[in-house]
Amino acid sequence: DVMAFRTGLIYDEQMMNYNLLWDYPVCSIEKPERLSTSYEKLKYYGLVERCIPLPYREAIEEEIALVHSLDYIEAVKSTASMNVDELKTFSHKYDAVYFHPNSYHCAKVALGASLQLVDAVMLGEVQNGMALVRPPGHHSQKSEACGFCIFNNVAIAAKYAEKTYRTKRILIVDWDVHHGQGIQYIFEEDPSVLYFSWHRYEEQQFWPHLKDSDYSAVGKGKGVGFNINIPWNKIGMENADYLAAFFYILLPMAYEFNPELVLVSAGFDAVIGDPEGEMRATPECFAHLTHLLMPLAKGKLCVVLEGGYNLRSLSESVCMTARVLLGDPVPPLVGEMVPCTSAIESIQNARAVHQPYWNVLKNQDCAFIKDPSTIGIEEDGSQSSTATTAEEKEVTTVFTVSQGFDEFMDSHMKKVLVLTPRVRTAVSGCGEKLTILDQCLQVEKKKITMEEVGILISGGDCAELKDEYLLLSLGKIFPLIDKIMKREVRNGIAVSSTLSSGAFAARYSTTVRASRVLLLLLGETDIPTDVKEDEKILVVQVYGNQVEKKQSKYYIPISWKKDNEWDGDLLSSLFEIILPLAYGFKPELVILAVGSNIRIQEVTLAHLTHFLQVLAEGRILVISQASDLVETLVSSLLGNPLAAMSSFVLQQENALVLVKLRRELKQHWKLL
Ligand code: X5A
Ligand code: ZN
């Protein structure tokens, strides 16, 4: 299996050889066990042996100098021969950082490891990878250590990639719970690096207490628009809040930016149990975030450790991230998926302040929210069901003190344990012999009778049943659904001459243990009324011609006003409507039915297929009306890296369709 060995892992015990030598409470949480525990957990889950071990190296001065001043480098170098008193004095010149005689060496190894990872990914030796390093980097600045950070590993990695590989656009995603102000300062005037950070802020009450961490810091000079801050003004942010930030801000902007490399400043201190963050994301949230970043930059993704101070939360989250890098299915998120009022306010304000710089935001609803108490109240004064308040969240605390954190984690991690079917992709009757089909399981078709299908759709409006092609298609589709629902295969694909087979497939799925099915149809076809009304089936139909269709809770038509080249529009609707809706609906199976005469590119369909695999533990059935799309769709189902989209625009007329739809959907659905 080619894909099993695609993820590089860098770790070296050397980076454990420094620690705090005096009493300094703000720094006591940054300890060597952060690395060893993470690595042990990776071994425990059998993930280390599935990765390609990459050798570390020490960074050289020239590389450190890509970001830091020579004076600062000299100063750090001099710490190697200091005694404890000198180290203490030196450390206290900076904010929340400590030095040890071995710090300089470890900082060079941490940076060297990050650069090795960039090399391996850029040279195609691995598809993606993770560097488990300490000290972390994102707070350190040109001439300053800060917040446990000495050299800015990720910022230097970006400069290094630009210099070595002539990379023109790099996205840095900083999902650490602290603001990587160091990275912001280094790139704030640089349009070649898009920096995204969310962070605990509490209206500047939280460390490092900077006005620069607010959403208003959008970059300067040529770099204006290329710095995205999402300040969290409340603690207790949950999975839904983080996902909302990805769907409504990061993903649309990242697609428009079209990076050639993605670097993650991967702190795991936004996870439940972390003493610094006091947030409540669960480890599998990072599986989702990782999966959502993989379509960018042709899959060139480097994850570099930053913070994370609860050893259990840290190590479980590291494992979740590594698993998804390796291509494993993404575990489901448990609990209600509703972002809180305060998170929505921050996200909305970040959208508003960035609206002038990004086309994807141009024709959307992006008003500033000045008074948080008005969120969720419609213009007519009615209360919308969108948000819970942070106070409401307090009530739904995920674990109780009496139960204890470890017990909570034990039972939680059991709940999100996902089996990986041995076979990834099954195909049935996909026509021509493509070599890529050799990597798939070929499934025999079944003979399906009119009667068997007739019971799935009631009433006499089933003229299509007389269509022998429909029965032939369903003969290919039903066995695939059986295999997917029995966990014998992860996903499947069939060619069907008729798009309406999607509706029958969805209905059939509900008879074989799929309690909820998301049916996404691309193209024009009539959907039987009882499928539209079936609350087990959420139907989203996206099509190019302007036929008005009546929307209901479980049937959502998205009809583009401008019906040519709706690639960007489709992905925008995916980020801002379909995925948020689906996360709330929690399907156990996704069916994607792709019509033959839709005006979108193959590469866009590959991206769509990747994103839909974030749902339902990757259980997806693709039905394609056109057989020439099979190769691209199968490749995406197999988890292969995706080509970049040639352009990404949300057309003005279609942005208005989304705005209107989102307003209407608010009546029935949350997370919107
Ligand atoms: C890398 C990181 C946190 C520093 C906190 C200081 N640093 N109070 O998470
Ligand atoms: Zn942090």
By CB neighbour count within 10 A (0-12 exposed, 13-18 middle, 19+ buried), where does 608 fall? buried
CA distances 649 to 73, 248, 557, 663, Å, are 44, 15, 21, 22
Instruction: Find the range with the poorest average confidence among 196-210, 458-472, 521-535, 597-611.
Output: 458-472
Q: Residue of the nearest CA to atom 9 in ligand 1?
A: 307
Taking CB atoms within 8 Å and a gap of at least 24, the contacts of 549-555 are 551/664, 553/668, 553/669, 555/527
Index of the ligand 1 atom closest to the CA of residue 137: 1
pLDDT for 434 equals: 87
Mutate to test the pocket of ligand 1, among 24, 35, 139, 197 (most ligand atoms within 8 A of CB): 139
Q: Residue of the nearest CA to atom 3 in ligand 1?
A: 147
Q: Residue of the nearest CA to atom 5 in ligand 1?
A: 147
Pick 13 or 544 by higher pLDDT.
13
Class of domain 423-665: alpha beta
pLDDT for 460 equals: 47
Q: Residue of the nearest CA to atom 6 in ligand 1?
A: 147
d(CA 307, CA 148): 9
d(CA 64, CA 78): 15
Map out the domains of the chain as residue ranges: 2-353+405-415, 423-665
d(CA 315, CA 38): 4
Distance 130 CA to ligand 1 centre (A): 20
pLDDT band at 457 (very low <50, low <70, confident <90, very high): confident
Q: Residue of the nearest CA to atom 4 in ligand 1?
A: 147
Distance 147 CA to ligand 2 centre (A): 8
| Residues 653-667 pLDDT 10s | 999 999 999 999 988
Q: Residue of the nearest CA to atom 1 in ligand 1?
A: 307
pLDDT for 372 equals: 65
| Residues 357-391 pLDDT 10s | 999 999 888 899 977 666 665 555 555 555 555 55
Residues with CB under 6 A from ligand 1: 26, 96, 136, 139, 147-149, 176, 178, 207, 267, 269, 276, 306-307
Index of the ligand 1 atom closest to the CA of residue 148: 7
The two three-digit tokens of residue 297, written as one number: 């930059």
Share of the chain above pLDDT 70, in %: 93
Distance 661 CA to ligand 2 centre (A): 37
pLDDT for 335 equals: 83
Q: Is the pLDDT of residue 627 over 50?
A: yes
Ranges of H-type helices in 586-644: 602-612, 630-637
Count the Cβ atoms, other than its own, within 10 Å of residue 659.
Answer: 14
pLDDT for 461 equals: 52
pLDDT for 396 equals: 45
Instruction: Find the range with the poorest average confidence among 194-208, 255-269, 496-510.
Output: 496-510
N-term to C-term CA, the chain:
39
Which residues lie near ion ligand 2 (Cβ < 5 Å)? 176, 178, 267, 269, 307
Distance 6 CA to ligand 2 centre (A): 28
Mean pLDDT, all residues of the chain = 93
By CB neighbour count within 10 A (0-12 exposed, 13-18 middle, 19+ buried), where does 466 fall? exposed
Strand residues in 470-616 grouped as ranges (E): 489-495, 517-522, 537-543, 555-559, 589-594
Mean of the pLDDT values across residues 486-511? 95
Pick 336 or 150 by higher pLDDT.
150
pTM value? 0.96
Ranges of H-type helices in 423-561: 450-454, 468-485, 501-511, 529-532
Index of the ligand 1 atom closest to the CA of residue 147: 4
Among the listed residues 644, 11, 642, 589, the one whose alpha carbon sits nearest the alpha carbon of residue 291: 642
pLDDT band at 449 (very low <50, low <70, confident <90, very high): confident
Rg (CA), the chain: 25
Among the listed residues 569, 618, 564, 623, the one whose alpha carbon sits nearest the alpha carbon of residue 594: 623
Q: The dihedral of CA 644, 647, 650, 654: what is its sign? A: negative
Choose the catalytic residue: 68, 138, 139, 288. 139
Q: Is the pLDDT of residue 545 over 50?
A: yes
pLDDT for 611 equals: 98
Distance 35 CA to ligand 2 centre (A): 15
Q: Residue of the nearest CA to atom 7 in ligand 1?
A: 147
Distance 99 CA to ligand 1 centre (A): 14
pLDDT band at 160 (very low <50, low <70, confident <90, very high): very high
Ligand lying closest to the C-alpha of residue 98: 1
| Residues 235-264 pLDDT 10s | 999 999 999 999 999 999 999 999 999 999
Mean of the pLDDT values across residues 172-181? 99
pLDDT for 453 equals: 87
Index of the ligand 1 atom closest to the CA of residue 138: 1
pLDDT band at 206 (very low <50, low <70, confident <90, very high): very high
Mutate to test the pocket of ligand 1, among 35, 114, 148, 179 (most ligand atoms within 8 A of CB): 148
Q: Do domains 2-353+405-415 and 423-665 have the same CATH topology?
A: yes
d(CA 612, CA 605): 11
| Sheet strands side by side (includes 423-428) | 441-442, 423-428, 489-495, 620-624, 589-594, 517-522, 537-543, 555-559
Q: Is the pLDDT of residue 64 over 70?
A: yes
d(CA 647, CA 633): 19
Q: Is the pLDDT of residue 395 over 50?
A: no
Mean of the pLDDT values across residues 27-43? 98
Q: Is the pLDDT of residue 102 over 70?
A: yes
The two three-digit tokens of residue 350, written as one number: 């970040």
Asked whether this complex has an ipTM greater than 0.90, the answer is yes
Distance 176 CA to ligand 1 centre (A): 9
pLDDT band at 215 (very low <50, low <70, confident <90, very high): very high
Index of the ligand 1 atom closest to the CA of residue 26: 8
pLDDT for 307 equals: 98
Mean of the pLDDT values across residues 306-333? 98
Distance 631 CA to ligand 1 centre (A): 46
Ligand lying closest to the C-alpha of residue 153: 1
Class of domain 2-353+405-415: alpha beta
Mean of the pLDDT values across residues 421-440? 90
* HEC letters along 376-430: CECCCCCECCCCECHHHHHHCCCCCCCCCHHHHHHHHHHHCCCCCCCEEEEEECC
pLDDT for 451 equals: 85
Mutate to test the pocket of ligand 1, among 92, 178, 306 (most ligand atoms within 8 A of CB): 178
Index of the ligand 1 atom closest to the CA of residue 267: 9
Active site residue 412: no
Q: Which residues contact 161 (CB under 8 A, 6 or more apart)?
A: 118, 122, 167, 170, 261
pLDDT for 501 equals: 94
pLDDT for 491 equals: 98
Q: With beta carbons less than 8 A apart as the criterion, state whether 7 and 52 touch.
A: yes
Pick 40 or 379 by higher pLDDT.
40
| Residues 550-585 pLDDT 10s | 999 999 999 999 888 899 999 999 999 999 999 999
d(CA 651, CA 560): 10
Collapsing DSSP to helix, strand or coil, 154 comes out as: helix
Q: With beta carbons less than 8 A apart as the criterion, state whether 359 and 258 touch.
A: no
Q: The dihedral of CA 74, 75, 80, 81: what is its sign? A: positive
Q: Is the pLDDT of residue 3 over 70?
A: no
Beta strands 227-232; 7-11: pairing state: unpaired
